[in-house]
Amino acid sequence: MSTELLVNVAPFETRIARVENGRAEELYIERTRGKGLRGNIYLGKVQRVIPGIQAAFIDIGLDRAGFLYAGDIPGARLESEMIDDEADDEQGTKDDETSLNVGNRQNIAPIGQLLREGQEILVQVSRDPIAPKGPRLTAMLSLAGRYLVFLPGLEHVGIARRLEDENERSRLLSIAEEIKVEGSGLIVRTVAEGHSKEELKQDLNFLLKLWKDIDARRKKAMPKSMVHSELNLYLRVMRDFVDEEVEKIYIDSKEAYERMKAFAAQFMPEVEGRLYYYPGSRPIFDVYGVEEEIDRALKRKVGLKSGGSIVIDQAEALIAIDVNSGSSVSLQNLEETSFKTNLEAVYEIVHQLRLRNLGGIIIIDFIDMLDSDNQAKVMEVLEEALMRDKTKTKVHPFTELGLVQLTRKRTRDSLGRMLQMGCEHCASTGLTKSMQTVCYQLFREVVAEARAYPSEKLMVIAHPKLIDLLLGEESDMVVQLEGFLGKEISFKHDETFAPDRYEVVLQ
């Protein structure tokens, strides 16, 4: 299978597409305005120590000081206190994927014994600032690699709680204990499942080089300055998603290309030869048809080549996918037609799950099949297609109602939630009022306004389509309304109005 990464860089946004056999299967987007501080490391200066809340405010050179809790300082916990040995490494959750979870926070040394005003301290942003509060900080630094999280200065080995297989947990913990460097710790991430000691050691070497670089910059840094910025999107993708399957990486920005080359030369030399600068005048996403795939991924209904379709509805609690036969129905052999359409739908469903990055509970309503062998074959193909998906997914068998349930790990916001917003006209329902309903709603408001406030005339300002209906099909109702109120009603169109919006003005 041919796999390539396309890196599209602009001043306002970076987008990366993973293309497999010529088709975009995954998409990553980072907008410059929305890029946060989480993961950045600063040489801070203690601004104020507050014993009453066991915390301190740290000046890191931003508009607002950061907040550092005593329990987030190495050495703050008493000997009986233990660091939770499981880190949440799911990207896109409320907690940082590299942060440590501290259990009991009551047995902590007094903040006054740990910090003093004016002291310099190396801290990392664990939560972005939320107005009017500054960023949440931690002095227990962590650096995320692909398979490991490196903990400089913390003698600790742990493993992500989402890695459930006990034999695999034991194997990975044993490897981590063996390769860890004295005076530091490691947390094994969920994605390390099934990977070898050599792969984990290579990841650790990358993190050790990164920490050496950070430590060297810290020694030269001025107080209240940043010494390490979390990698931007294209460098994070290099770190986390470039494997032996990725044959080529095309970058349409010369600056980004040079940065990726330098990064690869220092930390991932085996990747350097796969980087290519794309200087073409035609946008790289257009060349590979990625823009078309994005447009399809934002639609509720996606057509199949056979004439059938899948319909995807994303709600808060779950995602429902309905498979429809459409024009592919054959009355001569309904079972065979249903089976073939379902098989075709399987590949499109998995493609859409990956491209849209849909996670959580997913319910698939396949076309009914009476043959149990056909059901088994559809399940087999579904599980086979999901093997290409690196996001952890669990598949449950057909229910008595003919439904298939998946659970797919949420890793970040879905494509739809990143690129779309609720419709202000339909209140995000996907439906809107009929024009006749809007007319009668308008009539009721005219009556209410005329009765509430004295006036000789009323003017209705609305979209031309609504006014055409009022003066056309509903003109007799307007005449009756004028007689009922004893007032004249005039109309004025405004093309800036939505079709269902109007204003009633007293004159």
Say if residue 118 is in the same domain as residue 197: yes
Say if residue 468 is in the same domain as residue 326: no
Residue 303: inside a domain, yes or no? yes
The model's pTM: 0.69
pLDDT at 99: 41
Say if residue 20 is in the same domain as residue 102: no
CA torsion through residues 287, 290, 296, 299, sign: negative
Instruction: Report yes or no: 157 and 186 within 8 Å, Cβ to Cβ.
Output: yes
Lowest mean pLDDT among 20-24, 274-278, 368-372, 410-414: 410-414
CATH code for the domain of 255: 3.30.420.60
Say if residue 313 is in the same domain as residue 412: yes
Say if residue 57 is in the same domain as residue 27: no
- Cα–Cα separations (whole angstroms), residue 381 to 2, 35, 40, 344, 378: 21, 39, 43, 10, 5
Domain boundary pick from 204, 229, 254: 229
At 31, list the tokens. 């907008």
Dihedral-angle region of residue 127 (phi above 0 means left; psi in -120 to 50 means alpha; beta otherwise): beta
Say if residue 496 is in the same domain as residue 354: no
- Measured in degrees and rounded to the nearest 5, phi and psi for residue 82 equal -125, 145
At 11, list the tokens. 């001043």
pLDDT at 428: 66
Say if residue 137 is in the same domain as residue 269: no
Supply the DSSP string of 290-336, one letter for each residue.
HHHHHHHHTSSEEE-TTS-EEEEEE-SSEEEEEEE-GGG--SS-HHH
Q: What SS3 class is residue 409?
A: coil
pLDDT at 215: 94
At 278, list the tokens. 């794309």
Locate tokens 């199949």: which residue? 304
Alpha-carbon Rg for the chain in angstroms: 30
State mean pLDDT over 96-116.
Answer: 63
Range of the domain at 396: 299-419
State mean pLDDT over 197-223.
Answer: 93
pLDDT at 55: 94
Beta-bridged to residue 228, according to DSSP, are 41
- Identify the DSSP state of 272: G
* pLDDT at position 127 over 50: yes
Residues with Cβ within 8 Å of 130's Cβ and at least 6 positions away in sequence, in order, are none
Say if residue 23 is in the same domain as residue 92: no
pLDDT at 403: 94
Residue 72: inside a domain, yes or no? yes
pLDDT at 34: 66
Distance CA 252, CA 255 (A): 9
Distance CA 161, CA 159 (A): 6
Say if residue 173 is in the same domain as residue 82: yes
Give pLDDT tens digits for 314-360.
887 799 999 998 765 555 588 888 999 999 999 999 999 999 999 89
Say if residue 332 is in the same domain as residue 481: no
Number of folded domains that form the chain: 4
- Identify the DSSP state of 140: S
Kindly report the average pLDDT of the chain as a whole number.
86
Contacts 24+ apart (CB under 8 A), 470-473: 470/439, 470/442
Give pLDDT tens digits for 167-205.
999 999 999 999 999 999 999 988 788 889 998 998 899
Say if residue 160 is in the same domain as residue 257: no
State mean pLDDT over 395-423.
Answer: 86
Higher pLDDT, 81 or 160: 160
Dihedral-angle region of residue 39 (phi above 0 means left; psi in -120 to 50 means alpha; beta otherwise): left
Lowest mean pLDDT among 129-133, 264-268, 292-296: 129-133
Q: Is 153 exposed, middle or buried (0-12, 13-18, 19+ CB in 10 A)?
A: middle
Give pLDDT tens digits for 50-73.
999 999 999 999 989 999 999 999
Residue by residue, what is the 3-state secondary structure of 404-423?
EEEEECCCCCCHHHHHCCCC
At 253, list the tokens. 């920005």
Residues with Cβ within 8 Å of 138's Cβ and at least 6 positions away in sequence, in order, are 68, 72, 99, 100, 123, 124, 126
